Amino acid sequence: MKHLKPINQKAARIEAYVEHQAARAAERDMDVIGLRTPPHEENGPHFPLGCSLVFAPGWEVDSQGGTAGLCQPVERDIFDCHLSCFWPAHVPDQLNHAQDWTGKCASAQKDWRKLDLIFP
């Protein structure tokens, strides 16, 4: 820490923890990434884990007619699933409680980080 000075033993432990967390966050693979996003596939083949491989559950082709980016079972409960796929994902109540939740997210692919957490 450059600005705050840890004084007691516990503060020194907090500082060490914070620095450790920062070092971990700085590692590239600590960011949030999609399953099909590099670097996982940088050095290896493409693994089509999507549902079309097993024909169930989900779509055999995506909404554009393609097969390259079919959604994974583990990815079904996220933001965009409930919009374009009409999947009943858990999202905030945008009619009453959190009307502006998607206000800053024009394109989910680009702006998903602007979707903030909603606290009751």
Partner 1 sequence: MNPPVATGAPDTTGAQPLLALREFHPFEAHGARFLYMVPSAGIFRMDDAGCAILDLLAEGPAELDAVVEALSARFEVDRILGTVHELTEIRAIGDVDAPKEQVPNDLPPADFPLNTMVLNVTNKCNLACTYCYEYGEDKIVDTAYGKQPKFMSDETAEESVEFLLQESKDQPVAHLTFFGGETLLNFPVLQKTVAYARRRAAEEGKRIEFSLTTNATLLKPEIIEWLADNQIGVTISIDGPKPVQDGLRVFHNGKGTYDVVLPKIKDLLARHRSRPIGARVTLTQKNMNVLEIFRHLTEEIGFWEVGLAPVTTQEHRDYAITPESKDAMLLQFEELANEWLECALRDEHHGFSNVRDTIEEIHKGVSKAYGCGAGLGLMGVATDGEVALCHRFAGSEEHTIGNVVDGVDREKQGRFLVDHHIASKTDCHTCWARPICSGGCYHEAHVNYGTSSHANLHYCTWVRSWTHTCLEIYGALAEKNPKFLERFDA
Q: Which residues bind partner 1 (CB under 8 A)?
A: 1-11, 13-14, 18, 28, 31-34, 36-37, 62-64, 69-72, 75-76, 78-81, 83-85, 104, 108-110, 112-114, 116, 119
Quick one: 13 or 54, whose CB is closer to partner 1?
Answer: 13
Nearest-approach distance from CB 64 to partner 1, in angstroms: 7
Least distance (Å) from partner 1 to the CB of residue 15?
A: 8
In the complex, the smallest distance separating the C-beta of residue 31 from partner 1, rounded to whole angstroms, is 5
Torsion on CA atoms 111, 51, 94, 31, rounded to nearest 10: -40
Q: Which residues are catalytic?
A: 77
∠ CA 115-118-120, nearest 5°, is 170
What is the 8-class DSSP label of residue 72?
P
Q: Report the alpha-carbon angle 105-31-111, nearest 5.
A: 10
